[in-house]
Amino acid sequence: MAVDGYTLGVARQAQQEAAEWKAYARGLERKLATYADNYDGMEALKNAAMKELSRIDPGRLAAFVCL
């Protein structure tokens, strides 16, 4: 079976678009992982600050927990 130029062009274009979408998805996954790591770091920092605050001034901790 012979493939004409148009069909070959369409197939190549589809392959290129699939590769571009794959690269785009890979970039989004990388950004999501970075954001998740940043969130975990901020959560740990917040927990450490709250622990220190509760140790220094336990009465003030209640005001921050309500926020």
Query: Residue 64: pLDDT band by 50, 70, 90 thresholds?
Result: low
Q: What average pLDDT does range 11-28 have in this prediction?
A: 97
- Per DSSP (E only), the strands in 1-67 are none
Query: Residue 61: pLDDT band by 50, 70, 90 thresholds?
Result: low
Q: What average pLDDT does range 10-32 have in this prediction?
A: 97
Percentage of the chain with pLDDT > 70? 87
Instruction: Calculate the CA 36 to chain-centre distance.
Output: 6
CA-angle at 9, arms to 4 and 25, nearest 5°: 145
Q: What average pLDDT does range 4-29 have in this prediction?
A: 96
